Amino acid sequence: MRFRHYKGGLYDLVCVATLESDLSPMIVYRAADGSIWTRPEHVFFELIEVDGVMVQRFVAID
């Protein structure tokens, strides 16, 4: 599944992983340049404030 970051970058969700230390879900995703990133699931899908407006950090585009 493909996502657009609120700053404009496109990313492919690779998988949902489990963080060993506390078993929390982590999102593993790939940038257009091939680099691999991870964020806690709740951070990946959270609403953030940008210029006084609440927006999703990542929005599904597929």
Instruction: For the chain, give the percent of residues with pLDDT over 90.
Output: 98
What domains are defined for the chain?
2-60 (2.30.30.320)
Q: 20 Cβ partners below 8 Å, 6+ apart?
A: none
Residue 62 confidence (pLDDT) above 80: no
Residues 26 and 43: their CA atoms lie apart, in Å, by 9
Rounded to an integer, the average pLDDT of 5-13 is: 96
Q: Does pTM surpass 0.85?
A: yes
